[in-house]
Amino acid sequence: MLKAKTVVALAVGLLFMSQCRGALQPGFYKGKCGFADVETIVGGVVTSRFFKDPTIVPALLRMQFHDCFVNGCDASILLDGINSEKTAIPNRSVRGYEIIDAAKAALEAACPGVVSCADIIAMATRDAVFLGRGGRYSVQTGRRDGLVSLATNVDLPSPSISVSDSVKAFDRKGLSATDMVYLLGGHTVGIAHCSLFENRLYNFQGTGNPDPTMDPFLVNKLRSKCPQNATFDNTADLDQNPFSSLIVDNSFYRQILLRRGILQIDQELALDPVTKASVTAIASAYDFSTNFGQAMIKLGAVQVLTGTQGEIRKSCRAVNSKAA
């Protein structure tokens, strides 16, 4: 039997290790920035930019997804460098970096060296979703910033991935099939370039015909926007409801049930036996905002650095040894 002193020593050791590891929690920065409120500062920057450009909603959603799905939510996507994640082909169209820079500058002026860039991404995305009428979820904070950003680490699910392979990719990140369906619902806002779905319009899987799962009227509409062998790369709304293409809601699910999905994976969600029932339920439900927010919270917790791991960058574009 363990002696009382030994038990106490073990308990203290476990507590110490727990504190060193740290954990995400709502309100992590409360009281850590003097009289300033960290989340209010970030929200002010995002709100100011949103009223100038509401397309920051899909931009920030995409940024957070692309960051969390590589090394985890460690802001590695923000680091500059000739071989950084930014330079990988799937990330070359990621945007919104200037919003994170502006929020970081405001926070460094208020309380230097306190707030991580990884947390700024999570808070800014939450605020953008709220401004896009997607409801407000509680962001857990306490992330630390990563030190490594390599283009060779970028292995994101492609727009033509199958549902089964997508489920496996999300599962590797600790996310369920239901989480996947909700997170891909982020496509209720934003656009896709023609090059990402042109094969569905003209030569689907080498057949010489369009994808039979796409609504023929949509095929004709998109062909006029995306002519074959065009020298330019136009875009199409991912949510084909023109009244909802910039609103974070469940309209996307209703569109893919009508075979009006733009990306192949989006359309497959409504057809595959694994996800069809979820899509049908979400399309007619009234709790999309709540469940989408919960899925975003889970995404934001993927492979995070906490406690003494990583660092709090002075600049979101460089690790501290280079930012000094």
The DSSP annotation for 257-319 comes to HTT--SSHHHHHHTTSTTTHHHHHHHHH-S-HHHHHHHHHHHHTTTT-B-TTSSB--SBTTB-
Q: Say whether 76 counts as a known binding-site residue.
A: yes
25 has which bridge partners? 141
The DSSP annotation for 21-54 comes to H---EETTTTTSSTT--HHHHHHHHHHHHHTT-T
In whole angstroms, give the CA distance from residue 68 to residue 47: 23
Cα-to-chain-centroid distance, residue 137: 14
Q: Say whether 101 counts as a known binding-site residue.
A: no
In whole angstroms, give the CA distance from residue 249 to residue 246: 9
DSSP label of 64:
H
Does 193 participate in catalysis according to the annotation? no
Q: Say whether 81 counts as a known binding-site residue.
A: no
Q: Say whether 187 counts as a known binding-site residue.
A: yes
Q: Say whether 215 counts as a known binding-site residue.
A: no
Q: Say whether 157 counts as a known binding-site residue.
A: yes
Residue 107, phi then psi, degrees to nearest 5? -75, -40
In whole angstroms, give the CA distance from residue 25 to residue 312: 17
SS3 193: strand
Q: Say whether 311 counts as a known binding-site residue.
A: no
CA angle (138, 186, 279) in 5-degree steps: 105
In whole angstroms, give the CA distance from residue 60 to residue 66: 10
Q: Give 268's contacts (C-beta < 8 A, 6+ positions apart).
A: 162, 163, 213, 261, 275
Q: Say whether 85 counts as a known binding-site residue.
A: yes
In whole angstroms, give the CA distance from residue 173 to residue 151: 19
Q: Which two tokens stand for residue 172?
A: 């590797």
Q: Give 89's contacts (C-beta < 8 A, 6+ positions apart).
A: none
Cβ-contact 288, 77 below 8 angstroms? no
Catalytic residue, candidates 66, 143, 144, 317: 66
Q: Say whether 138 counts as a known binding-site residue.
A: no
Which residues make up each annotated binding site for substrate? 157
Binding residues for Ca(2+): 67, 70, 72, 74, 76, 85, 188, 239, 249
Provide the annotated binding site for heme b: 187
Catalytic machinery residues: 66
Q: Which residues are annotated as a binding site?
A: 67, 70, 72, 74, 76, 85, 157, 187-188, 239, 249
